[in-house]
Structure 1
Amino acid sequence: MREFGYERAFDVSGAVALIGSDPDARFLGGGTNLVDLMKTGVERPALLVDVRELPLDRIELDRDGGLRIGATVTNSDLAAHPDVRRHYPALAQAVLAGASGQLRNMATVGGNLLQRTRCGYFTEISRPCNRRSPGSGCPAVGGKHRNHAILGASEHCIATHPSDMAVALAAFDAVISYETADGPGELPIDGFYPPVGDTPHIETALPPGALITGVTLPPAPVAARSRYRKVRERASFAFAIGSIAGALDVEDGVVREVRLALGAVASMPWRARAAERVLVGGPASAEAFAAAADAELAAAEALPDNAYKVTLMRNLIVAVLTELTEEVSR
């Protein structure tokens, strides 16, 4: 591990200034991803700026029903908060599915959004990886890719984004706030993670040196009837091989509103807009849910060892929407 400096920031402007003074500096929240990558040599910061003491640890419900979540809120506090559980249950479920209690106690909302792929080629610095070393190649395409992307990938990278929390945030149109030396800014989550294309090393649309300060969830009454389902290769805490955040509003057997986001299928949380368009205004039936899933997955480009994900995700979409329909009818 490279020798590094350490500074603790107590205000947002001070934290941003510290990062701006050193291009090799990194913000440190819970460290549950960054420190692991430092141990393997993927990350080699010269300076860590600890942001855990910043006044960004509150969760507040707006008068209009939206939710504001500070960047240093821990995953444990997010999952346990009564307003999150009441108004956005899929978000609470996603966070609880994401890691053990010990990790949730350390990990922060801002850090969760910025966690990097768990592709084995990315974390093994002796191997080429376009995400880590642009232009070096993507050995996963012809190598081990069982857990890799089937949507939105390219020949340059087929890694998936590991966050469970971000999948639920994508379903509910989260907006991410940040601070730079030039002032504050915002990014909708559907623009936060750029398409992988031929620049997989550009993992977010954040400006250089930006500090995430919070996440806002706009009012979404449909989110109160939502759930998160995660499939993994073992029952203990592990990264998803497929997941879904879904919310559904049905009246007289007709879908009035639906939100769907998929996880572990792309380099970003994948908002299933094609499926949503098929469903709205149509019947809330297993046949309609299957047709919507097929519409979304028509764009899938699977490789030999991850083709199972197409069937897996189709079944997940149908199952979760069916469960939500039954819940609404009770």
Structure 2
Amino acid sequence: MNSFTYSPPTAVDAAVRERINRPDSAYIGGGTNLIDLMKENVAHPTHLIGLKKLPLAEIENLPDGGLRLGAMATNADTAWHPEVEKRYPLLNQAILAGATPQLRNMATNGGNLMQRTRCYYFYDLATPCNKREPGTGCSAIGGYNRIHAILGASEQCIATHPSDMCVALAALEAVVRVSSPQGERSISFANFHRLPGDRPELDNTLRPGELITALDLPKKGFAKNFTYLKLRDRSSYAFAVVSVAAALELDGDIITDARLALGGVAHKPWRKAEAEQLLIGKPATLVTFRQAAAELLAGAEGHAHNAFKIELAKRAIVRALKQATEMDYVLDTNAFQNSNP
């Protein structure tokens, strides 16, 4: 790891000014991803701006009935907050499906959004990687690509976003609040993370120096019929091969509202309005679920080692929707057991 300096500002505007004035700097919250990147020499800031003294750790109700999650609140404090458990249990499940208790105690909400891919080649300095060094090529496309994207990829990059929390936030249609030298602005969650296109080194739509201050959840939390299904190679401390955040509103057996988001399959949490519309107004049956799954995976493209994820994702969607309908809450499962609904 290269040497670096450190400063802990106590005000948001001071942190933002420091980041703008020090192009070689980086924000650090819990450090659960950034420190790893620095140790591997993938990231090498020469100055770290510590955020722990900023007043950004509160979780509070909003006047419109929503809930604001401070960017510096830990994942653990967020998952176990009474309002999250009661009103947004989908988010509770997704957070608890990720990492380990020790990491969740350190990781922050803002940092969770800023996680970088766990693509093998991104971390391997001996191999070309357009995300790490633009213009060098993508080793995953012709290499071992079992964990890589099947949706929204490009010829430049087939990496996936690693977060569980973000999949639930996408389904809940959270809003990201950021602060910059120009003031505050809000970014819809759907527009926060980017697909790789021809700029795979850019993970999100933040502008230079912008700092995430909070996440706003809307009033509707789908607290009755929901599930977060995570399929992975081992039962703990593993990233998703495929994950599904499913949330429904039902009138009898008719679906009146629906949200679906996938993790482990793209450069960002994957949603498609057409798939959700196929559910609304339809009976909650396997036929309906399979139609939505087929639409959500339309256009999916596998590579040499990950083509299995297309069928796995379809089956996972059907299974998650069935669980949500039946109120059969499942925190996590093994990717290769009971994957056929």
TM-score by length of 1: 0.97
Where does residue 3 of structure 1 map in the other structure?
3
Where does residue 252 of structure 2 map in the other structure?
252
Contact 1:262/1:272 (CA < 8 Å) preserved in 2?
Answer: no
TM-score by length of 2: 0.94
The amino acid of 2:323's aligned partner reads: E
Where does residue 84 of structure 2 map in the other structure?
84
Instruction: Answer with 296-305 or 239-248: which moved more.
Output: 296-305
Where does residue 49 of structure 1 map in the other structure?
49
Contact 1:151/1:265 (CA < 8 Å) preserved in 2?
Answer: yes
Q: Aligned-residue CA RMSD in angstroms?
A: 1.2
Structure 1 residue 275, shift from structure 2 partner: 1.6
Alpha-carbon distance in structure 1 between the residues aligned to 2:52 and 2:225: 33
Structure 1 residue 62, shift from structure 2 partner: 2.4
Alpha-carbon distance in structure 2 between the residues aligned to 1:317 and 1:289: 7
The amino acid of 1:174's aligned partner reads: A
Structure 1 residue 272, shift from structure 2 partner: 3.5
- The residue correspondences of 1:229-248 to structure 2 (distance < 5 A) are 229-248=229-248
Contact 2:226/2:323 (CA < 8 Å) preserved in 1?
Answer: no
Structure 1 residue 224, shift from structure 2 partner: 4.3
Secondary structure at 2:283 match in 1: coil
Alpha-carbon distance in structure 2 between the residues aligned to 1:221 and 1:265: 24
Alpha-carbon distance in structure 2 between the residues aligned to 1:274 and 1:304: 28
Structure 1 residue 143, shift from structure 2 partner: 0.3
Structure 1 residue 236, shift from structure 2 partner: 2.3
Contact 2:227/2:323 (CA < 8 Å) preserved in 1?
Answer: no
- The residue correspondences of 1:1-330 to structure 2 (distance < 5 A) are 1-327=1-327
Structure 1 residue 254, shift from structure 2 partner: 1.3
Contact 1:88/1:226 (CA < 8 Å) preserved in 2?
Answer: no
Structure 1 residue 15, shift from structure 2 partner: 0.7
Secondary structure at 2:142 match in 1: coil
Secondary structure at 1:204 match in 2: coil
Alpha-carbon distance in structure 1 between the residues aligned to 2:120 and 2:222: 37
Secondary structure at 1:257 match in 2: strand
Q: Which runs of 5+ in 2 are unaligned?
A: 329-341
Contact 2:226/2:325 (CA < 8 Å) preserved in 1?
Answer: no
Contact 1:74/1:104 (CA < 8 Å) preserved in 2?
Answer: yes
Alpha-carbon distance in structure 2 between the residues aligned to 1:30 and 1:15: 16
The amino acid of 1:70's aligned partner reads: G
Contact 1:88/1:224 (CA < 8 Å) preserved in 2?
Answer: no
Q: Which runs of 5+ in 1 are unaligned?
A: none
Contact 1:79/1:92 (CA < 8 Å) preserved in 2?
Answer: yes
Structure 1 residue 167, shift from structure 2 partner: 0.4
Contact 1:222/1:257 (CA < 8 Å) preserved in 2?
Answer: no
Structure 1 residue 187, shift from structure 2 partner: 0.7
Identity of aligned residues (%): 49
Structure 1 residue 297, shift from structure 2 partner: 0.9
Instruction: Answer with 215-224 or 196-205: which moved more.
Output: 215-224
Secondary structure at 2:214 match in 1: strand
Alpha-carbon distance in structure 1 between the residues aligned to 2:75 and 2:326: 30
The amino acid of 1:55's aligned partner reads: P
Structure 1 residue 324, shift from structure 2 partner: 1.6
Contact 1:250/1:256 (CA < 8 Å) preserved in 2?
Answer: yes
The amino acid of 2:19's aligned partner reads: I
